[in-house]
Amino acid sequence: MKMEEYTIRKAIGSDLDAIMEIETDSFTVNNDNFSKRELKYLIEKSKVGCFVLEMGGEVLAYTSLLARANASNLRIYSLAVHSKARGKKLGEALLKFGIQYAKENGFASATLEVKVNNKPAISLYQKNGFETFSIKENYYHDGSNAFCMRRMME
Ligand SMILES: CC(C)(COP(=O)(O)OP(=O)(O)OC[C@H]1O[C@@H](n2cnc3c(N)ncnc32)[C@H](O)[C@@H]1OP(=O)(O)O)[C@@H](O)C(=O)NCCC(=O)NCCS
């Protein structure tokens, strides 16, 4: 069976509602979701920006990438796949896109935070070369801790 084609592209203002839906669908249950205002900033104003994965004309996943001026580290600030599209390697495709972006743009490393009980995400990150280097306590709204993970770019 042929896999349906997807494309990954830079998000623009008109993607806000689709990204908001993925964000709400993924994180609201724990109150960890970005507000529409925060997402608008991440799409339109943040350095690097957001990227969406689109399949069949529908935005199914997004990632937010951040970097400070002259920084050698790229921060993967958010990554989420709509629940109806999980388990099809779309999250992995977007993560690999972020890693490729870091390599192509001369970043020495990429980092991210992940909730310590988020097994699917931790597994995804480990599979793609990320290792835990510290723990941030009380990082999330429900009081749970975050693993800080890093991947060096060779
Ligand atoms: C985590 C998330 C992005 C994974 O996206 P996905 O498209 O469903 O995952 P993929 O199909 O690309 O899976 C790639 C790898 O991730 C891991 N993974 C994905 N789903 C998993 C699950 N339910 N249980 C365990 N590992 C899982 C596996 O390592 C998998 O590799 P494998 O298939 O070779 O075993 C997705 O579950 C999601 O959006 N979750 C809600 C938001 C979230 O938690 N984001 C991360 C915040 S830091």
pLDDT surpassing 80 at residue 2: no
Q: How far apart (Å, rounded) are the C-alpha atoms in residues 16 and 14? A: 5
> Where residue 154 falls among pLDDT bands split at 50, 70, 90?
confident
pLDDT surpassing 50 at residue 1: no
Question: 43 near 19, Cβ under 8 Å?
Answer: yes
- What pTM was estimated for this model as a whole? 0.96
pLDDT surpassing 80 at residue 55: yes
Question: 126 near 91, Cβ under 8 Å?
Answer: no
pLDDT surpassing 80 at residue 4: no
Ligand 1 pocket, residue 11 CB under 6 Å: no
pLDDT surpassing 80 at residue 30: no
- pLDDT of 111 reads 98
Greatest C-alpha distance within the chain:
45
- pLDDT of 29 reads 75
* pLDDT tens-digit series, residues 59-101: 999 999 999 999 999 999 999 999 999 999 999 999 999 999 9
Task: Catalogue all structural domains in the chain, each as residue range(s) with its CATH number.
Answer: 6-110 (3.40.630.30)
Mean pLDDT of the chain: 95
Q: How large is the average pLDDT for residues 133-148?
A: 96
To test ligand 1's pocket by mutation, which of 52, 64, 92 has the most ligand atoms within 8 angstroms of CB? 92
Q: Which residues touch 86 (CB under 8 Å, ≥6 apart)? A: 120
Distance 87 CA to ligand 1 centre (A): 6
Ligand 1 pocket, residue 13 CB under 6 Å: no
Ligand 1 pocket, residue 120 CB under 6 Å: yes
Q: How large is the average pLDDT for residues 95-121?
A: 98
